[in-house]
């Protein structure tokens, strides 16, 4: 089911999401299906459950549409359930990010160059995986949503001041998107 994407200013985006009960396979499968359906319509590369109003620790990332720019993302699709970062690279990198919950806003964000994450996959199997490059960026961005953080929280203070008017307009719902929002 396609769900509306919650925009900057909505309380659910600032909550620390709760682990899902992986024993409730039907509920987990339904949530993952809703995330996938919504992501396709919104034309994004990642989505976290809080972005559709569900304060649960589930994210999906899909880099397959970015393969022209990032060939390493050829078959990169992941569902991360109850993810936990177990290791972060001390080396950092900067990249411009955007977000379906903060439409039309882009800013440079510094993040670790690589991370290792332990999570349950869509088959509810426990996995530990190291992410690097743009895949790492996508995963970190979505994992932040599970901790009530948005990429705009990580930008330089001067950039935050520059985008503050746009953020205010988004929080009031005064933004146009090609997808349904709340």
Look at residues 1, 5, 65 and name the one whose alpha carbon lies nearest to residue 32.
1
Strand ordering across the sheet containing 58-62: 46-48, 58-62, 77-88, 114-120, 126-132
Look at residues 105, 107, 131 and name the one whose alpha carbon lies nearest to residue 118.
131
Strand ranges inside the chain, DSSP E: 46-48, 58-62, 77-88, 92-99, 102-112, 114-120, 126-132
DSSP H/E element including 56? none
Cα–Cα dist 22/169, whole Å: 38
In the residue annotation, 142 being an active-site residue is answered as yes
- Phi-psi bin for 72: left (phi > 0), alpha (psi -120 to 50), beta? alpha
Of the residues 15, 84, 87, 142, which is catalytic? 142
Known catalytic residues are 142
């Amino acid at each position: 089911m396609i769900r509306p994407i919650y925009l900057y200013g909505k309380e659910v985006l600032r909550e620390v999401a709760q682990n899902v009960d992986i024993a409730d396979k039907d509920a987990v499968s339904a949530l993952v299906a809703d995330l996938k359906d919504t992501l396709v319509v919104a034309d994004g590369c990642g989505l976290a459950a809080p972005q559709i109003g569900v304060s649960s620790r589930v994210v999906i990332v899909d880099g397959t549409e970015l393969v022209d720019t990032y060939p390493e993302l050829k078959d990169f699709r992941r569902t991360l359930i109850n993810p936990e970062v177990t290791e972060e690279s001390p080396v950092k990198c900067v990249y411009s990010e955007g977000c379906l919950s903060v439409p039309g806003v882009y800013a440079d964000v510094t993040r670790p160059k690589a991370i290792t994450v332990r999570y349950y996959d869509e088959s509810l199997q426990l996995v530990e995986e190291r992410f690097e490059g743009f895949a790492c960026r996508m995963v970190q961005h979505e994992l932040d949503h599970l901790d009530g953080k948005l990429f705009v929280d990580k930008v330089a203070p001067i950039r935050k001041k520059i985008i503050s008017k746009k953020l205010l307009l988004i929080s009031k719902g005064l933004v146009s998107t090609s997808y349904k929002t709340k």
